[in-house]
Amino acid sequence: MLEIKGLNQYYGGSHALRGIDLSVPRGACTALLGRNGVGKTTLLKCLMGLLPVESGQVAFDGRDITKFAPHQRARLGIGYVPQGREIFPRLTVAENLAVGAEAAGGADRETRAEVEALFPVLGAMQHRRGGDLSGGQQQQLAIGRALMSRPRLLLLDEPTEGIQPSTIKEIERALRALLARGITLVLVEQYLDFAMALAQQYAIFSRGEIVDRGAIADLRVADAHKHLAV
């Protein structure tokens, strides 16, 4: 579904991503692992069109989207849940969801109902401002907002960061339901147990490069922890 070939990206004079090659299969979860600052978030931003690619190619369903703007990618079926949630704190839950729908040209009531079925708290708090929600509720809102565009590929950046365990379980349940519907996930995650519970394949990043990859069933936990430790 998603093919990344020879992708290079720079922050000023820093070579942030170095020749990234990665294939993301349809309907599966691919976990991107590694400590902070090794290029995982940068890659997601490149995939969403928020950062330019210096060289290389990004293809989605066989179509070269390397030069596409973020709104064009959204309308093709790519959704993005950024690190830190980045909800609109002064807008209500309902308004935040409506913004997500507009990213893909609008959504119907059925989509809204599906999102609220995944995250019932969003229906119960639809008139509350996003900034008044707890961290876990804001994360559910961020995911729900991305789902309003009915993506076929969902990019998630650290969805468990700063979230209490009970809410992490709710997020895991929702992501499992998305996989069951055939939605493809790319998951940047520091919480290894969470990543291993959801993903079918992994790629470990170090200094802007992929240093290990494979089926999650073959991941050696001790080796993964070496790349996750500060």
Q: What CATH number is given to the structural domain containing 28?
A: 3.40.50.300
- Whole-number CA gyration radius for the chain: 17
pLDDT band (50, 70, 90) for residue 222: confident
pLDDT over 80 (residue 108): no
Q: So what's the pLDDT on residue 194?
A: 94
Residues spanned by the domain of 60: 2-228
Number of structural domains (the chain) is 1
CB under 8 Å to 173, separation ≥6 — which residues? Answer: none
CB under 8 Å to 192, separation ≥6 — which residues? Answer: 33, 221, 224, 225, 228
Q: Which residues pair with 63 in a beta bridge?
A: 60
Q: What is the mean pLDDT of residues 180-209?
A: 95
Six token digits for residue 20: 């990234």
Q: Is the pTM of this model over 0.85?
A: yes
